[in-house]
Structure 1
Amino acid sequence: MELIDGLLARRTTNGPFRPDPVSREHQHLLMRVAQAAPSHFNSQPWRFVLIENPATIARVADLSGQSMTELIDAGVFFERYRRYFRFSEAEMDERRDGIHIDRLPGPLKPFTRQVFSDAGLKLMRQLGVPKKLGEDNRKLVAGSPLLLAALLDRSEYRPGELSGFYSVFGLGAAIENIWNAVGELGMGIQFVSTPMEIPRHWEELGRLLQVPDDLELMAVYRLGYLPDEPHRPAIDWSSRHRKRLPQFVYRESCAQPEEE
C-alpha cells in the first residue's frame, strides 16, 4: 500500500528547488529506477544525460525563458493550449482535466476570461507579461541544481514504425519511474518543455549537449530537493483534478462506461 499511496501522491513541481546539489547517490538511484522500466524485447532504448554544470544549466535556462517569451508574445502558446485551461471550480469539476486558472499576475486578474483573446494578448504585451513569464521560467530552470536530458537510440527509435512506438512507450515508463521515485527522496521534478516549442532553440540545446547523430533528444527535466515551504509561481500550471471512472474507463467495450 505504501507504493500505491506514493503513486497517488505524485506531484509536478512548478516552483523553485533548494539550491543544494543532488547527491550522486540519489542521481544514480534515479537512473537505476529508470533502468527497471519495461521495454520491448528488453531493448532499453533510453539514454540520459545528468547535467550539473552551472554554465550549461544557465544556457538551458536562457533558452527556456526566451522560448516562453516568444511563445506568449506571438500568441502561439495560448492558441495551442487554450483548450486545457479552465476558469471556474464548476468547469473544473465537470471536466476533471486541464488546468484551473485561479492564479494570474496581478494586472491580469480583472481579465481572467479574456486573457486568451486577441484583446487579452494585446494587453499582456502592453503590460510586459511575456517577458515576465519568460523571466520566471528562466529563473526556475536556472535555480535547478540538476537537469536531466532523456534521449532515444535511433537504431530503436524509428518514427513511423512499430519500433518508434515501442521506444517512446519504454522511455515513458522509465521517466514515470523517475517521477514516482523523486518524492521518496524529498525531491521534485518538472518537464522543461518550452524550448521544444521553438525548433531553433531545441536544435541549439542538442548542440549544447553534444547529442550525436545516433541519438534523438526527446525531453529535458529539472530536478532538485523540495523547499520546506513550496512557493506557487505567477501562473500555476498544475492541477490535482482527475477524471471520474466513467469518463475514461469502459467495461467490455467502448459502448459501456464503467460505473464508479
Structure 2
Amino acid sequence: MDLIDGILSRRTTNGPFRPEPVSREHQHLLMRVAASAPSHFNSQPWRFVLIENPDTIAQVAEISGQSMQQLIEQGVFFERYRRYFRFSETEMDQRRDGIYIDHLPGPLRPFTRQVFSDAGLNLMRRLGVPARLGEDNRKLVAGSPLLLAVLLDRAEYRPGELSAFYSVFGMGGAVVNIWNVVGSLGMGIQFVSTPMEIPEQWQRLRDLLRVPATLELMAVYRLGYLPGTDRRPTIDWSSRHRKRLSQYVFRETCATPERDAADMVQADPVG
C-alpha cells in the first residue's frame, strides 16, 4: 500500500479479529516502525510489551469488560465524553469531529438523542445494556490474538518537566507509525481504553504485566488480522469525518483561516 494512501485510509477496528496468531515477522516489523519515530535527543523513551498468552489476554479482557460495565452503569462515560457525540449525519458533516452514533440496540433507536441523558441511562440500565456492553468489550479483547502495552521510561518521562512532553510526543509518533502500518499487513488495531478510566482497574493491569517502578504504563492496544465481515458492537459509531482545512489551519497568523480547496477553485477559476 502506498504510504500516503495508507495514512489517509487509516481506520480504528471496532469489531473482532480473525483468531490466528499475528506472525512474529509482523510483530517485529511493527516494533521496528515504532522505533523509527523521532524522539527528543534520540532518547527513544518508549517500551513495549507484546502479549500473546491466552491467559493474560483473558485477564486483560475481564478487566476491560468490567471497566466498561462500571463506566456505563455509573454514567461516567457519558458525562465525561458527551461533548463528542453526534446523532445525525447532518450534525456530523457540520462539525466534522467527534463520533456519529449510528448503531444502537433496537429498543434504543427511537431515543437516539436521549440515550445519553439521565432518563436514557435509566432505560439502558433496565434493558441490561451496561452488562451487555461490558460483555461485548470483554469478548473483543479476549478474541484478540495480540495485545500491545505501551510504556515510557521514567528516566525520560518526568511529569512536571519538559521531558514529560517530549516523551509523550515521541511515544505518540511511535504509536502512530504502528497505526499507519497495520492496514498494509491486513491487520487492525484498537485502543483498550476503558481500564484507564478507573484507577484501580489500571493498577490491576500494571500488576498483571509486572510493570516495574522504572516504567510507566501508558496505553494498551489490541491487534489482529481483519476478518472478511464487519461485525459491529451493540452500541457503535463512525468517526471518518475530518475537519476542513479552514477549521484547523491558519495562514501566516491565527487571525487568517486557510481557504478550503473548493473555495480556492471558485475564487481562482481557470480559463
TM-score, with normalisation over the residues of structure 1? 0.99
Structure 1 segment 86-165 matched on structure 2, within 5 A? 86-165=86-165
Q: Which residue of 1 aligns with 2:210?
A: 210
State the alpha-carbon separation in 1 of the partners of residues 2 and 252 from structure 2.
30
Alignment coverage as a number of residue pairs: 260
What do the CA deviations read for 1:102-153 (whole angstroms, capped 9, x no partner)?
Answer: 1111221111111111111111100000000000000000000000000000
Deviation at 1:186, TM superposition (A): 0.4
Q: Which residue of 2 aligns with 1:166?
A: 166
What do the CA deviations read for 1:159-202 (whole angstroms, capped 9, x no partner)?
Answer: 11110000000000000000001011100000000000000000
Q: Which residue of 1 aligns with 2:266?
A: none
1:224 partner SS: strand
Q: Aligned-residue CA RMSD in angstroms?
A: 0.9
Unaligned runs of 5+ in 1: none
Q: Which residue of 2 aligns with 1:201?
A: 201
Check conservation: 1:12, 1:238, Cα contact below 8 A. no
Deviation at 1:225, TM superposition (A): 0.2
What do the CA deviations read for 1:13-59 (whole angstroms, capped 9, x no partner)?
Answer: 00000000000010000000100000000000000000000000000
Deviation at 1:235, TM superposition (A): 1.9
Deviation at 1:228, TM superposition (A): 1.2
Check conservation: 2:45, 2:153, Cα contact below 8 A. yes
Q: Which residue of 2 aligns with 1:181?
A: 181
One-letter code aligned to 2:46: W
**Structure whose CA Rg is larger:** 2
Deviation at 1:213, TM superposition (A): 0.1
State the alpha-carbon separation in 1 of the partners of residues 134 and 147 from structure 2.
18
State the alpha-carbon separation in 1 of the partners of residues 231 and 134 from structure 2.
17
One-letter code aligned to 1:28: H
Deviation at 1:2, TM superposition (A): 1.7
State the alpha-carbon separation in 2 of the partners of residues 115 and 229 from structure 1.
28
One-letter code aligned to 1:110: P
Check conservation: 2:64, 2:195, Cα contact below 8 A. yes
One-letter code aligned to 1:36: S
Q: Which residue of 1 aligns with 2:29?
A: 29
Check conservation: 2:14, 2:190, Cα contact below 8 A. yes
State the alpha-carbon separation in 1 of the partners of residues 105 and 79 from structure 2.
19
1:121 partner SS: helix
State the alpha-carbon separation in 2 of the partners of residues 5 and 185 from structure 1.
14
Unaligned runs of 5+ in 2: 261-271
Q: Is 2:1 aligned against 1:4?
A: no
Deviation at 1:234, TM superposition (A): 1.8
2:242 partner SS: coil
Identity %, equivalent residues: 80
Q: Is 2:231 aligned against 1:248?
A: no
